[in-house]
Amino acid sequence: MLGNFTYYNPCRLHFGPDAVSKLADELAEYGPTVVLVYGGGSIKRSGLYDQVTTMLRAAGKTVAEISGVMSNPTADKLREGAKVARDANADLLLAVGGGSVIDYAKAVAVSAWCDDDPWEKYFLRMEAPDNRLIPVGNILTMSGTGSEMNAGSVISNPQQKLKIGHVFGPELIPRFAIVNPELTFTVPDYQMRAGIFDAFNHIQEQYFSGDDDNTSDYVAEALMRSLVTSSLVAVADPADYEARSNISWVCTWALNTLLGKGKATDWEVHMIGQAIGAVTDAAHGMTLSAVAPAYYRHIMPYGLHKFVRFAVEVWDVRPEGKTDEQVACEGIEAMEAWMDRIGVVRRVSELGLTPDMYDDVVKGTFLLEGGYKKLTPDEVRAILVASA
């Protein structure tokens, strides 16, 4: 059943090999000052930095920069960037990078003109913005998080051992997104694989919730099937445009609010994964892949019918002559076989997480209501042990 909701996603998304050329049109919509937001040197090595700054100059923009955005952007880095954007009086924050850079740019967008401490206001207290916001646009270089077309932002505080995501309102959705799948060719293999599982799990977090089997569930299955097919091609040949373009498109739609319509949505794998990320600084997608199988095996009895459907519709498990439990387990086993084929992390120990750190992870894991079973802290610990 699809109850009351509003669907509104005004991002203008330019896709394909020529997408970066659309930046010129987009820049014309904003005032003279652009703050360019990026991570390390990869966009300089790839030539994208030169291409973008040339276009910014041609558009007559004054450019300030926030560079060195890390893969798990920190509260300290947020405070630093907020000051840069405010001092520059930015008309546009142009994020060039993967999900971390875009997440970070959104956090800067709400923080630049915020007189409160932004980590405390927006992440610890989860308040809605009530100050001037700076528009965000992005050029995506790595697919996975879906940040290019949603209002989510995840910021870490290593001192507090916390990593917290805030999904803002539609005013924080990037005004434009430029998604050229060819730009993702240069992403290290490890990051590509992490991004693929991140998107897969975004779909799962929405799919394994509610018991309604509505249109969103059908679309979720479609996106999972497409992603599985394309991912197997991409790990064999990362420069296969057809595979990478489908992966990029699935990643965008996996988390741009469509799939959550009519669903309670779970997000518990992300809560555990983010808590692991807070203490290990591991790649986000790999923190999810390390715990997802154990999590789903744990909650399977509480949503068995959906795990049967997952097995049959996503993995083509044949149900004839089997119990629901057998069918459901075969679905998880098929998912694990696929995870092994695409090469994602399957054990938390591979991320540097040792048993002495479990307390911090359990403490840092938010326990949400939306899934088939609200976990207890002991259950989080059991999932870590099962994923050790």
Decide: is 3 part of the binding site for its own copies (CB under 8 A): yes
Strands ordered across the beta sheet of 136-140: 62-66, 33-38, 92-97, 136-140, 176-179
Measured in Å, how far apart are the chain's first and last C-alpha atoms? 38
- Contact between 303 and 211 under an 8 Å Cβ cutoff? The reply is yes
> For the window 204-233, what string marks contact with its own copies as x by the rule CB under 8 A?
--------x-xx--xx-xxx-xx---x---
d(CA 119, CA 79): 8
- For 262, residues 6+ apart whose C-beta sits below 8 A from its C-beta are 1, 2, 3, 5, 210, 212, 214, 215, 216
Binding track over 67-86 against its own copies, x by CB under 8 A: --------------------
- The first and second tokens of residue 52, run together, are 């973008």
* 10 interacts with its own copies by CB under 8 A: yes
Question: Which phi and psi (to 5°) does residue 104 adopt?
Answer: -65, -40
222: tokens are: 């479609």
Q: Using the rule CB under 8 A, is 14 a contact of its own copies?
A: yes
Residue 248 touching its own copies (CB under 8 A): yes
Residue 140 found at the interface with its own copies (CB under 8 A):
no
Shortest distance in whole angstroms from residue 320 CB to its own copies: 12
In whole angstroms, what separates CA 163 from the centre of its chain?
13
Instruction: Give Rg (Cα) of the chain.
Output: 20
29 belongs to the binding site for its own copies (CB under 8 A) = no
16 binds its own copies (CB under 8 A): yes
Q: Check binding of 15 to its own copies (CB under 8 A).
A: yes
Which of 29, 76, 189, 242 is in the footprint of its own copies by CB under 8 A? 242
Residue 182 binds its own copies, judged by CB under 8 A = no
Per rule CB under 8 A, is residue 321 in the interface with its own copies?
A: no
Under the criterion CB under 8 A, does residue 5 sit at the interface with its own copies? yes
- Binding to its own copies by residue 249, rule CB under 8 A? yes
The residues binding its own copies (CB under 8 A) are 1-19, 22, 181, 212, 214-215, 218-219, 221-223, 225-226, 230, 241-242, 245-246, 248-250, 253, 261-262
